[in-house]
A and B are shown apart, each in its own frame.
Chain A
Amino acid sequence: MINVALPKGRLGEKVYAMFERAGYECPSIKENNRKLIFENADKGIRYFWVKPSDVSIYVERGAADIGVCGKDILLEYSPDVYELLDLNLGKCRMAVAAKRDFYDDNQKTLKVATKFVNIARGFYASKCRDIDIIKLNGSIEIAPILGLSDVIVDIVETGTTLKENNLEVVETIVPISARLVANKASFKFKTEEIEKIVESIREQVENND
C-alpha cells in the first residue's frame, strides 16, 4: 500500500487527476463529504488531504510514502526527503516586493516581513545584507503599507494582489512549482511501487511540456 499526502485545494485536485490518469484512481475521493482519507485497496493506494504546508512533514515522518508540495515549503523547512519530480504545476515565484516608490538605502538595516523566514534569511545572507526579519502568518502585503517593514518576501503568482496594494516585485529569489517528494526509508522498501508511480507521472509532465 502506498500512502500519498495530497495538498488540499486546487493544486491537490490537479495532482490527484495526474495520479488517476496514471492508473491509481480512487473514485470515493470525488464524493462530496468531509472525509480526509481515501483508499483503493485493489490499486494499493491510499490518499489523504492535508494542509499544503504539512505535506513534507507527513512524508519526512513516514506517515506518507510520497506526497506533493511546493518548492517554497521544501526550501523553507529543508525536510530530509527525496525530491523526485518537478510537476510543473502551481508555478509561481518567491520574490521580494516593496512599495512602488521604495528606495533600498544600504546604510540601514532592511526590515523584511515574511512567512518564509529561512528563505528570506538565506537570500539576504548570500548578499551580506543586514536585515531585521518580521515573521508574519498572513496578509504580508500590508506590512510595507503600514510601515511595519521595508519589503516583503512572499510567493507571487500573477502579481494582482501586489498591484492592488500598490506594491511591485523588486527581485525574484527563486521560481516555485509543485514537487513530488518521497520518504527516504519508504523508497528503500517500496522502490518498485514508487518508481512505477513516478515514471507514469513523469511521462505526463513531459507530455505537457
Chain B
Amino acid sequence: MIDEKIFKNEERAIFALRSLYRQYGYLPFKMSKFEEYDLYVQNKDFLVSDRVITFNDTSGRLLALKPDVTLSIIKNTTDETGCKQKVCYNENVYRVSGSTHQFKEIMQTGLECIGDIDILDIFEVVALGAQSLSLISDTFALDLSHMGIVSAILDEASSDELFKKEAIALIANKNIHELRALCQGYQISEESTSAIITLVTTYGETTQVLNALCGICKSERAREAYAQLSALCTYLEATSYKNQIKLDFSVVNDMNYYNGIVFKGFLNGIPESVLSGGEYGMLLQKMGRKSNAIGFAIYLDLLEGLEGERCDYDVDTLILYDDATQDIALTKKRELIEQKRSVSAQRSIPSKLRYRELLDLREGESK
C-alpha cells in the first residue's frame, strides 16, 4: 500500500486525472519523445512557442524533441462519420518558457476528442477541464471564450489582417485604451469599435455576459457562435462547477487554428494559467482532414507552486554508527522501519539532513 503523503502535487494529479479520463472513455496514448521536424514546420503557428530543439538521427533525418502533443495525436487518428476518438496523455514537451526565454521541459497531461464532435462532446471536454482543476485544488477558475464570436466581430470591423492581429493581442490584455486608439487609427466604425470594446469590458457570470453579448452578435457567423456558446453555458449551469466557470473574451487563441470554444483554467496561488484548451477544427482542415477536435492540456510542472503539506524533517530517525556498532544499527534500522518510521543510518551527521530524533550508537557516545 502506497502512503499518499509521499506524492508531490503533480504526481497525485497524474493518477487522479488519468482515472477521471478513463471513466469518460479517454484511452491513454503513449507517443515517442521525437517527431519528424517537418510536422512542426508545417504547423509552426499552432505551437505555443515556435522554437524547437532539433537533432539529426542516425540516418540523417531531422528530428525534434516534441514541443507539442496535439499534432502527434492528430496524426494517429482517422476521420469516421458519427464517431470520435478520445485519447488522454501524460507527456513531457520541450518549449521556450515565456518568462525566461530558455528551453524548458514541461510535464503535460490532457485529453483530445477528435472526430465528428457535437455540443455534447464540447460540453464533456469543458466540464472535464473544470473537474480536473477541482481535483487539484478547491479554489479554481475556468474562463471560457468563443473564437467564432471574436473573429466574426473583428471581421465585421475590418478585413485588414494586421488590424485583427493587433486587436486580438490587445483583447488578450484587456487593453481598452489602446484598442480604442487602434480602432481610431484604422478608421473602424463607431458601432464596430463599441462591439470590440464590449468584448473586453464584459466578463464574469455566464448569463449576465450572454445578455450583454446578444446585442453585438449581429452577423450570421456571430449568431451561430453565440448560439453554440449559449447552449454550452446551459449545460454547464447544471454542473457543480457553475460558479467557477466564467465567460471572459481575453481568453483568445490564434484565429487561424481555433474556430470555436477556447478556455483557460487557473488555480489560486499559481500566477499563470495551468490549463489551456479549445476547439481546433481549422488545424485539422489545414491538414486535409474532415474532423473537428477539442482538447486541453494541464501544465503539471506549475503545480509545484501549490502549497503542499510542509515537512519539517527529512527522516524520523538518524542513526549514527561505527564499525563496532554496525550490526546493532542494522537491527535498529529494521525495527524502526517495521514501525513505519523513516530512517537514515550514517557514520556522521550529514550537514543538510533534517531529522526528528538522533540515535547515536557510536562507541563512547551517549545513547
Number of A positions contacting B (CB below 8 A): 19
The stretch from B59-67, B113-121, B172-180, B347-355 touching chain A is B172-180
Taking a contact as CB atoms closer than 8 A, the residue among B139, B143, B173, B178 that contacts A82 in the complex is B173
CB distance from A67 to the nearest CB of B (A): 13
Interface magnitude class on chain B: 20 to 34
Assess the B250–A60 pair: CB atoms within 8 A.
Answer: no
Contacts of A57 in B (CB 8 A): 99
Interchain CA distance A84-B143 in the complex, whole Å: 18
Chain B residue numbers with a CB within 8 Å of A86 are 177-178
Cβ distance A6 to chain B, nearest Cβ, rounded Å: 19
- Residue contact B270 to A185, C-beta cutoff 8 Å: yes
Question: Which A residues are CB-close (under 8 A) to B273?
Answer: 184-185
Q: Beta-carbon contacts of A69-108 to B below 8 Å, as 1s and 0s?
A: 0000000000111111110000000000000000000000
Q: Does A139 contact B (CB under 8 A)?
A: no
Cβ contact within 8 Å between A83 and B270? no
Q: Which residues of chain B come closer than 8 Å to A80, judged between CB atoms?
A: 98-99, 272
Partner of B174, one of A83, A186, A189: A83
User: CB within 8 A of A85: which of B99, B177, B204?
Assistant: B177
Tell me which residues across on chain A come within 8 A of B99, comparing CB atoms: 57, 60-61, 79-80
Asked if A62 and B266 sit within 8 Å, CB to CB, the answer is no
Residues of B within 8 A of A81 (CB): 173
- Inside 8 A of B174's CB, which chain A residues have their CB? 82-84
Chain B residue nearest to A198 (CB atoms) is B174
Q: Does any Cβ of A come within 8 Å of B268's Cβ?
A: yes
Within 8 Å CB of B272, what residues of A? 62, 80, 184-185
| Complex contacts, A184 vs chain B, CB 8 Å | 250, 266, 271-273
Contacts A188-B141, A188-B143, A189-B141; A61 near B178 (Cβ below 8 A): no
- Type the 1/0 row for A171-209, where 1 means its CB is closer than 8 Å to any CB of B: 000000000000111101101000000000000000000
Chain B residue nearest to A186 (CB atoms) is: B271
Q: How far is the CB of A78 from chain B (nearest CB, A)?
A: 8
Residues of A within 8 A of B177 (CB): 85-86
- A189, B139: Cβ atoms closer than 8 Å: yes
Chain A residues lying within 8 Å of B268, measured Cβ to Cβ, are 185, 189
Minimum CB–CB distance from B38 to chain A (whole Å) comes to: 27
> CA–CA, A194 to B182, complex, Å?
25
Nearest residue, chain A, Cβ from B264: A184
- A82 to B, closest residue via Cβ: B174
Q: Determine if A60 and B271 form an interchain contact, defined as CB atoms under 8 angstroms apart.
A: yes
Report whether B204 and A185 are in contact in the complex, using a CB–CB cutoff of 8 Å.
Answer: no
Instruction: Establish whether residues B266 and A188, one from each chain, have CB atoms under 8 Å apart when the complex forms.
Output: yes
Within the assembled complex, what's the spacing in Å between the Cα atoms of A183 and B178?
A: 18
Rounded to whole Å, the gap between the CB of A122 and the closest CB of chain B is: 13
Considering the chains assembled together, what is the distance between the CA atoms of A193 and B174 in angstroms? 17
Of B139, B250, B272, the most chain A CB neighbours within 10 A belong to B272
Q: B98 near A189 (CB under 8 angstroms)? A: no
A189 to B268, CA, bound (A): 7
Q: Name the residue in A62, A81, A184 with the highest tally of chain B Cβ atoms < 10 Å from its Cβ.
A: A184
Whether the Cβ atoms of A185 and B175 lie closer than 8 Å is no
Q: Please give me the residue from chain A that is nearest to B274 by CB atom.
A: A185
- Hey, what's the 0/1 contact readout for B75-102 against A, CB within 8 Å counting as 1? 0000000000000000000000011000
**Cα separation A83 to B181 with both chains bound (whole Å):** 14
CB distance from B248 to the nearest CB of A (A): 8
Taking CB atoms and an 8 Å cut-off, the chain B residues in 176-208 that contact chain A are: 177-178, 204
**CB closest chain-A residue, reference B170:** A83
Complex alpha-carbon distance, A60 and B272, angstroms? 8
Nearest CB of A to B137, in Å: 11
**Residues of chain B contacted by A189 (CB below 8 angstroms):** 139, 141, 266, 268
Least CB distance, B275 to chain A, in whole angstroms? 12
A82-B250, A188-B141, A189-B266 as given contacts; A61 in contact with B271, CB under 8 Å: yes
Could you tell me the distance in whole angstroms from the C-beta of B49 to the nearest C-beta in chain A?
A: 13
Instruction: Give the complex CA separation of A184 and B268 in angstroms.
Output: 11
Q: Which of B96-153 contact A (CB under 8 A)?
A: 98-99, 139, 141, 143
A80 to B276, CA, bound (A): 15
Of chain A, the residue at the smallest CB distance from B139 is A189
A83 engages B178 (CB within 8 Å):
yes
Q: Nearest-CB distance from A77 to chain B (Å)? A: 9
Q: Which residues of A contact B175 (CB under 8 A)?
A: 82-84
Q: How far is the CB of A193 from chain B (nearest CB, A)?
A: 14
CB-nearest residue of chain A to B265: A188
Residues of A within 8 A of B267 (CB): 185
- A62 x B271 contact (CB < 8 A): yes
Interface positions of A (Cβ within 8 A of B): 57, 60-62, 79-86, 183-186, 188-189, 191
A-B contact pairs, 12 of them (CB 8 A): A60-B271, A80-B98, A82-B175, A86-B178, A184-B250, A184-B266, A185-B267, A185-B270, A185-B272, A188-B141, A188-B246, A191-B204
Task: Please give 18 more A-B residue pairs, beta carbons under 8 A apart, in addition to A62-B272, A82-B175, A184-B273.
Answer: A61-B99, A61-B271, A62-B271, A80-B98, A80-B99, A80-B272, A83-B173, A83-B175, A84-B174, A86-B177, A184-B250, A184-B272, A185-B268, A185-B270, A186-B271, A188-B143, A189-B141, A189-B266
Closest 4 CB pairs of A and B: A62-B271, A188-B141, A83-B175, A86-B177
